[in-house]
């Protein structure tokens, strides 16, 4: 069964450093999302992406964040200058064009020291 994959599974970085989180959505899916979950808190929407552009973003998704689909398979989230409060699980999700169900990847645990 096709699934969303994410790399790395765990990323440790120093405050102020740039990180890139990578996702490979399910093949032939058209809609892509990033969510995050701070430990013990709810899953929060960051950004959605369709047709090579951002379709929606939350107030969390400020100028420090960017997304890109550099090729036909990868979908990346970049954080330019990480803060302590960026420490969280980051989930990528994708959805096909004819449905309404979002499928989540296994997540990347980001730890900012």
CB of 81 to another protein, least distance (A): 25
CB of 82 to another protein, least distance (A): 21
14 or 62, CB closer to another protein?
A: 62
Cα distance between residue 16 and residue 101, in whole Å? 35
List of residues contacting another protein (CB under 8 A) = 31, 33, 35, 41-45, 48, 50, 55-56, 58, 89, 91, 95, 100-107
CB of 102 to another protein, least distance (A): 6
20 or 43, CB closer to another protein?
A: 43
């Amino acid at each position: 069964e096709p699934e969303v994959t994410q790399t790395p599974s765990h990323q440790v970085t120093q405050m102020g450093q740039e990180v890139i989180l990578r996702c490979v959505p399910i093949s032939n899916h058209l809609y892509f999302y990033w969510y995050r979950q701070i430990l013990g808190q709810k899953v929060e929407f960051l950004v959605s992406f369709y047709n090579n552009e951002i379709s929606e973003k939350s107030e969390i998704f400020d100028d420090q964040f960017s997304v890109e689909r550099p090729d036909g398979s990868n979908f990346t989230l970049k954080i330019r200058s990480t803060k302590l409060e960026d420490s969280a699980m980051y989930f990528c999700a994708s959805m096909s064009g004819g449905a309404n169900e979002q499928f989540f990847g296994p997540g990347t645990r980001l730890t900012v020291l």
